[in-house]
Structures are given as structure tokens and as C-alpha cells.
Amino acid sequence: MGILYGIIGLVAIILIVPIFVKKDFGLVREIIVNKSKLYVFDYLKYLKNQDNFSVWPGVDPDMKKDYKGTDGTVGFVSAWESQNKKVGAGEQEIIKIAEGERLDYELRFLKPMKATNQAFMTTERQSESQTKVKWGFSGKMTYPMNMMLLFMNMEKMIGSDFENGLVKLKEILEK
């Protein structure tokens, strides 16, 4: 009987705790690039350029890539597939462009687990020759899967990937 109560208690915890756990997650990183806002934005709006500064292509140089549409426009899709679990498989689509200001993407992860998240990049003029670039990522986990957020730390999981990508972006643009 004690085992049955233990199992019931465990199931109750698994079903009750997520009610009180946040469902949203995200992070934002930023860097100052010593180039004009127009120059920086014109580079960022082409999704294929992310392959030059994002850390994930470096994790698996043999990753398969596929593109659909016209790069730098709403609807352009960049798809990837890798056997490496850190890279997985999925696609990223440009869903909105505020010219010179902001790019919004939808990330659709297929492997190792399915998820749809949002990402963005913004440019903000600091001076005639300096631009602040922000790179952000956000998503939601539905009940009861949101309980996993108690054990996941997005800062540790991908924060350094965004920071390293922005440092590489700065190096590319300032050459």
C-alpha cells in the first residue's frame, strides 16, 4: 500500500508543480560593432550570413543545409540537418523585417526534440560608426513539460553560443 501512495504522490507532484512553474524562457545578448547601422543591418538581413558567425555550423562542419526562397526577404527558409545532437535538425524562417531595425525569425526544431521558438536580431545606432546588435531567443513550454524549465538553464545552455557568435560577427564586420 505504501508503494501505491508513493506512486500517487509522485504523479501528483509531477502534475501539480508545473502549475506554478513559468512557461516562458529566453535570452538576449548584445555587442557593439564599429560599423554604421546600415552596413551592419545589410549584412544581418541575409540569413545565409549566419553560417559565418553562428557557432552551430562549426559544431558540425558536415551539416547538410538547404535554402528556400529569396534570402533577405520574408519567407526565406534556411534548413539544416546534422547527426550531432547539439545541432540536430530544423529550419529557420524570416517572418518579419523592419528595414534597418529588426529581423524576426521562427525556429522550428525537428531533432533531437520538436519545438518552435522565436528569435530576433536588432540594430541600434550608437553613433555614426557604431551599432549595438542584439540577438535574442524565446519560447514557451506547455504544461506539464514546463516542469523541465526547473532543470534547464538557458543562460548556461546557449548564452555563450550567442556571445561567441556576436564576437565572431563583430570580427567579420570590422575587417
2-173 fold: Alpha-D-Glucose-1,6-Bisphosphate; Chain A, domain 4 (3.30.530)
Rounded CA-CA distance 27/153 in Å is 10
Report percent pLDDT > 90 for the chain: 61
Q: What is the pTM of this model?
A: 0.82
| Spatial CA neighbour of 119 closest among 139, 133, 141 | 139
Per-residue pLDDT tens for 44-60?
999 999 999 998 888 89
Mean pLDDT, residues 153-160:
74
pLDDT in tens, 91-141: 999 999 999 999 999 999 999 888 899 999 999 999 999 999 999 998 777
47 backbone dihedrals φ, ψ, rounded to 5°: -60, -30
pLDDT at 131: 98
Give residue limits of the domains in the chain.
Answer: 2-173
Give me the pLDDT at residue 113, please. Answer: 82
Measured between alpha carbons, how far is 33 from 43 in angstroms, rounded to an integer?
12
pLDDT per residue over 62-89, tens digit each? Answer: 899 999 999 999 999 999 999 988 889 9
160-164: average pLDDT: 92
Q: How confident is the model at residue 150 (pLDDT cuts 50, 70, 90)?
A: low
What are the φ/ψ torsions at residue 19 (nearest 5 degrees)?
-60, -35
